[in-house]
Structure 1
Amino acid sequence: MTNQAAYPLATAPNFRDLGGHATSDGGRVRTGVAFRSDALDRLDAADVRTLGELGVRQVIDLRTAFERESRPDALPEGIDHTVLDLQGDHSTGADLVQVLSDPGRAEAVFGDGGATRFMHEVSRTLVTAEDACAGYAEMVRRIAAGAGATVVHCSAGKDRTGWAAALVLGILGVPRETISADYLASNERLSRLQGTMRAACERSGIDPAVIEPMTECRLAYLDEAYGEVERTYGSFDAYVHDGLGLEEPTVEALRGRMLA
């Protein structure tokens, strides 16, 4: 039987609260303030009502233009829908679909470890790319200033949203091992994504094992992002203040809203 508390949205299986985690100094992250999720395009009427009951007032959409146009969010009326495209509003989603429809190209791009290399590149780009830094900074500002609860999401809720969660929890002082566990918790919620990708591979005659690294959260991907933080900025605090350009009043406002 599905645990309704763990899976509050039946039609968005990777939706979950960012709260409840203990911080290094003995505090705790408040529940009901910020949520992370996969795409919200398939929400049924019951889940739309649940978003309202949870006090959600803003949704931050990290997807590309292609993803948003092909799968627009289904939201309650009155919710502020903010687009923060971390990838420069280009057609990454469309490109992936095109690659998977061509077995030869898919093998060339993702075979022989290419899918794993691609995921490591994604992890680095989310830390250093100008669009990603601007988007994540604005996300933090909006959560810090929000009048109600905020949902942050991408398509699967594992990579772009995974780093979004790591960023917020890191600012709040949640230990890295806890952040890693939260990141890996997506793996038990990705069956829909994995089924979709397997089906795409079957249609094109591609071995699903070729793209398996792209359908999972692996600690190596998160570690790659943290490594990029250290290589580029020297420390997580420098990333927050210099890389993202977040000022201390914003950081303190986030902590004030989200720490019990």
Structure 2
Amino acid sequence: MGRAEWLTAAGWQQAYDDGVRTIVDLRNPGERSRRPTDPVVPPAALERVTVLNRPTEEPGHPELAANAPYMNHPRFYLDNVRIFPQLIAEVFRTLAHAEGAVVVHCSAGRDRTGLVSMMLLQLAGVPAGQIADAHELGIRGINDWHRISPYRHPVESYISGDELEARVADMRGSLLQVLSQLDVEPFLLRHGLARSDIEALRARMAG
């Protein structure tokens, strides 16, 4: 999912009705604010859901400069995991023990969310091709949003036709490369998760 601020009061109610009790926000603290174009939501709409901020990176880290303007492609995923292993591990520890159904989101619902979703799906035993299919939905989804969004993104804009298909193919290829190089379970165990946490994650994915 992209920015939680895009949800209307009806959207929050639908999420609650579907069993969502926890939102894990992967954005950096400085990104977590309303825009004038966001729907106005009464505080009561949010009171029944726990929102946890679990960033996947540290803004200003010198090694992030290589991922300019930001992590917007799967080719950066391995760098993120390498530079910030403890932050990534904390996301998964949170997911293992969160209350109720969980929604994970960042700004676009494509890259930080895509990284975490990719790792969860691998942990659940989903084949790489199906993980890439799921990631493609995020690519196309945020692209469609750029077509209708009242907020003009400073870097990205809506694309279509051959340009879109080329981008999808490029990102898919990179994602498959990442999946071939990253073994999620040993990574999480090396960085502090217990086997019981891994089993809790698998049970959540199976449920």
Q: TM above 0.5, one fold? A: yes
2-side partners of 1:227 and 1:175: how far apart?
11
Matched with 2:94 is 142
Maintained 8 Å contact 1:65/1:90: no
Establish whether residue 80 from structure 1 lines up as the match of residue 38 from structure 2: no
Percent sequence identity over aligned pairs: 24
Shift of 1:163: 1.0
The Cα of 1:207 is off from its aligned counterpart by 9.8
Which ranges in structure 2 are unaligned for 5 or more consecutive residues?
A: none
> How far 1:170 moved relative to its partner?
1.1
Secondary structure of the 1:63 match is: coil
Q: Aligned AA for 2:47? A: E
Superimposed CA distance per residue, residues 19-51 of structure 1 (whole angstroms, 9 cap, x where no aligned partner): xxxxxxxxxxxxxxxxxx111102112111101
In structure 1, the residue corresponding to 2:5 is in which secondary structure?
coil
Q: Does 1:256 align with 2:203?
A: yes
Instruction: Look up the equivalent residue of 1:65 and give its one-letter code.
Output: P
Equivalent residues in 2 for 1:59-208, closer than 5 Å: 59-70=23-34, 76-90=46-60, 119=73, 122-130=76-84, 133-190=85-142, 191-193=144-146, 199-200=152-153
Separation of aligned partners in 2, 1:224 and 1:134: 23
Once residues 48 and 207 of structure 1 are traced to their aligned partners in structure 2, the CA distance between those partners, rounded to angstroms, is 27
CA gap of 1:207–1:79, structure 2 versus 1, over 3 A, is closer
Between stretches 186-195 and 46-55, larger displacement belongs to 186-195
* Counterpart mapping for 1:213-224 below 5 A: 218-224=171-177
- What's the TM-score once normalised by structure 2's chain length? 0.73
After TM superposition, the score normalised by the length of structure 1 is 0.60
Match of 1:15 in 2: none
CA contact (8 A) 2:25 2:51 kept: yes
* Cα shift at 1:85: 1.2
1:56 to 20, 32, 37: 20
User: 2:194 maps to what in 1?
Assistant: 247
CA contact (8 A) 1:184 1:219 kept: yes
Q: 1:208 to 1:137 in 2, by over 3 A?
A: same
Distance 1:160 1:117 in 2: 8
Larger displacement relative to structure 2 (183-192 or 146-155): 183-192
* Cα displacement (A) at 1:68: 0.7
2:174 aligned with 1:226:
no
Give the greater-gyration-radius structure (CA). Answer: 1
Task: Give the match's secondary structure for 1:151.
Answer: strand
Gaps of 5+ in 1: 1-36, 92-108, 230-234
* Amino acid corresponding to residue 189 of structure 2 in structure 1: H
